[in-house]
Amino acid sequence: MKSPWCIAGVVLWVLTITVLGWSFINGWTAKGSDGRTDILVDPAERDQILAEMRQLLKAVDGVIRELGESEPDRKRMESAARAGGMHMAEDVEPALMVKLPLPFKQMGMSIHKDMDALADAIKQNETPQQILKQLSSMTARCTACHDMYRFKAGE
């Protein structure tokens, strides 16, 4: 016969895995007043995420500014794109990642991967039209994400 402690341990383990799995998928969210999903974070976490978004916007701006030049500096353009790549996502706190819903995490990671792919495309001398097409695909995901989510910082 199984010990009640053993059964309780298994039940507790299953419950813990279920809660963690649910949190990883759904994050800490609430229905927002404007129809978007509020992602509930601390003020410092909100500041961190918004700073990362500004850095991504600056990377896009750097690429577009060079494309607007009569003779774009490909090294500078590649560097701008690379600045928004996967290295930006390396130091994200696990506690913050749990708060983010899975679709948000997926879109964010895809943008970082695509910034690295864009930098590679620039290095391989793709045409300005090809580069703009890649940027357009990324900014479409940015706007879709901003249409779906907003960050709400608690006290």
pLDDT in tens, the chain (155 residues): 567 777 777 667 666 666 556 566 778 899 999 999 999 999 999 999 999 999 999 999 999 999 999 999 999 999 999 999 999 888 778 888 899 999 999 999 999 999 999 999 999 999 999 999 999 999 999 999 999 999 998 76
* Contact in structure between 40 and 99 (CB atoms under 8 Å): yes
Residue 72: per-residue pLDDT: 95
CA dist 104 and 41 (Å) reads 14
pTM over 0.85: no
Closest C-alpha to 141, from 97, 99, 110, 100: 110
Length of the chain, in residues: 155
| List of residues 6+ apart from 76 with CB closer than 8 A | 62, 66
In the chain the domains, ranked by start, together with CATH numbers, are 4-153 (1.20.120)
How far are the Cα atoms of 30, 46, 96, 114 from residue 135, in angstroms, in the given order?
31, 25, 27, 9
